[in-house]
Amino acid sequence: MYKILIVKSYYVSLVETEDAINYFSLHYPDAYISLVANLFPDEYQYVVKNINVTEKILYGPQATKLTGFQLVKLFFSLHRKKFDQAFVLIGKVSSYDYLKGKLLAFFSGAKQAKLYYVATKQETTLDLFGIQGYRNKISKILFVTVKGILNLIGGTFILITITVLFTLFIVLPMKVKKILSR
């Protein structure tokens, strides 16, 4: 089953959220849709009644005061669900206030994280702080580092072996010969 995570931030209206949910349920008719939403108390009843959302993770406006531990717990609970796609609903294109939503989408472990602009119904790939482009570079750096360490260990082993052999076959016989010649 195809799993979709929709992250509604505080700055996206309930009407825009409903439109986005309908959009995703039309484009992904058999998908398991989960909604993480920061809602006002009077908005709960509308979202709870939405039949297109399979799972609803709802919290209130006081969630802006979530502790770091609660956010990490939410990251891990979302990560265990293994989403195929995560969408962050964006209301104002120029707004920088979507960091929590972007972090939720990115760390949810979804195979693909996207921003969904509710006004224009456009999707763009989420590249949080340029991390997506650096994943391959980071893995290459780790590989080269490990390879270098193994080469260093191998080189050290060879150096120790040469030192031991030099001591056994050259230095010791010279010492023994010097002692016997006295």
Q: What are the tens digits of pLDDT across the range 104-130?
A: 787 788 888 888 888 788 887 776 555
pLDDT at position 52 is 80
* Range with lowest mean pLDDT among 43-47, 59-63, 174-178: 59-63
pLDDT at position 9 is 77
- 3-state percent helix, strand, coil for the chain, nearest multiple of 5: 55, 20, 25
pLDDT at position 175 is 79
95-104 long-range contacts, CB within 8 A, separation 24+: 95/11, 97/9, 97/10, 97/11, 98/9, 98/11, 100/9, 100/71, 101/7, 101/8, 101/9, 102/126, 102/128, 103/71, 103/75, 103/128, 104/5, 104/7, 104/36, 104/74, 104/75, 104/78
Position 11 pLDDT exceeds 80: no
- Asked if 83 contacts 3 with a C-beta cutoff of 8 angstroms, the reply is yes
Rounded distance between C-alpha atoms, residue 114 and residue 116, angstroms = 6
pLDDT at position 82 is 86
Rounded mean pLDDT of 44-55? Answer: 77
Q: For 53, list phi and psi in degrees, rounded to 5.
A: -100, 120
- Strand order of the sheet with strand 85-90? 55-59, 32-38, 3-8, 85-90, 112-117, 122-125
Q: 112-117 and 122-125: which strand pairing?
A: antiparallel
Rounded mean pLDDT of 148-176? Answer: 77
Fold entry, domain 3-126: Rossmann fold (3.40.50)
Position 150 pLDDT exceeds 70: no
Cross-strand partners of 35: 6, 56
Report which secondary-structure segment, H or E, holds 86: strand 85-90
- Asked if 3 contacts 81 with a C-beta cutoff of 8 angstroms, the reply is yes
Cross-strand partners of 112: 85
Rounded mean pLDDT of 68-76? Answer: 76
Q: pTM value? A: 0.65
Position 71 pLDDT exceeds 80: no
